[in-house]
Amino acid sequence: MIIEDIPITSVRDPPEGLKTFAQANTVKNSKVPMPTYVGSNTQFLSIPMIQFNLRGQGNSCKVEVEPSYCQFEGDTYINHVYTKEVSLCKKSEGLVKYTLRMEGKNKDSFDIDIQTQGKSLKLADDGIIHGVMESNIDLKIVVNSHERGECMAFFYIEIEDGAPVSF
């Protein structure tokens, strides 16, 4: 990649050699001073300067959901509680910080509760659960409906230093 005609004034903390080069190549007799450019194909010397932040795979966190979706098949009834188990599987080392939220459900007539190790993780008013994974987590999804009809909910898990997961 070649980037041309970058003025010396736009370079943050330029090296002393580049500053000297810029001062030496300014024509004082001319009405328009000759600017010094970095990486130019003009008469000025090309000086490569690259600055970037590289984030390595060392911080990368990977989490998978098994199974990736839950479907309640067969006859289901009003005011009966149904459960499905889902595992959040940690595929990387160290602690994994995550945020789980219910992205949407298409009916207000059914309730969803999420439990882990017998403890309810009620979705907050904003529909978000914050947590830290040390190992795999088994979630129990508890569904109860007050009306007939088909319902669907989506869960979205944002992983710090990792790709988001949904189920």
Q: What is the pLDDT of residues 74-103, one digit of tens each?
A: 888 999 999 999 888 888 888 888 888 887
Tell me: do 46 and 92 sit in the same domain: no
Tell me: do 104 and 44 sit in the same domain: no
Instruction: Please report the pLDDT score of residue 81 as a whole number.
Output: 92
Instruction: Please report the pLDDT score of residue 80 as a whole number.
Output: 92
Instruction: Please report the pLDDT score of residue 159 as a whole number.
Output: 86
Number of CB atoms found within 10 A of residue 67's CB? 11
Tell me: do 62 and 104 sit in the same domain: yes
| Ranges of the chain with pLDDT below 50 | 29-33
Question: Contact, 138 vs 87, CB < 8 A?
Answer: yes
Tell me: do 117 and 130 sit in the same domain: yes
Number of CB atoms found within 10 A of residue 46's CB? 12
Tell me the CATH number at 122: 2.60.40.10
Number of domains in the chain: 2
Query: Structural domain of residue 137, as residue ranges?
Result: 57-166
Q: Can you spell out the DSSP letters for 117-156?
A: TTEE----TTSEEEEEESS-EEEEEEEEESS-S---EEEE
Question: Contact, 139 vs 115, CB < 8 A?
Answer: yes
Tell me: do 118 and 138 sit in the same domain: yes
Tell me: do 63 and 2 sit in the same domain: no
Tell me: do 124 and 82 sit in the same domain: yes
Tell me: do 47 and 71 sit in the same domain: no
Pick the last residue of a domain from 52, 68, 93: 52
Tell me: do 44 and 67 sit in the same domain: no
Tell me: do 43 and 77 sit in the same domain: no
Tell me: do 88 and 29 sit in the same domain: no
Tell me: do 80 and 146 sit in the same domain: yes
Instruction: Please report the pLDDT score of residue 50 as a whole number.
Output: 62
Percent of the chain with pLDDT over 90: 3
Instruction: Please report the pLDDT score of residue 131 as a whole number.
Output: 80
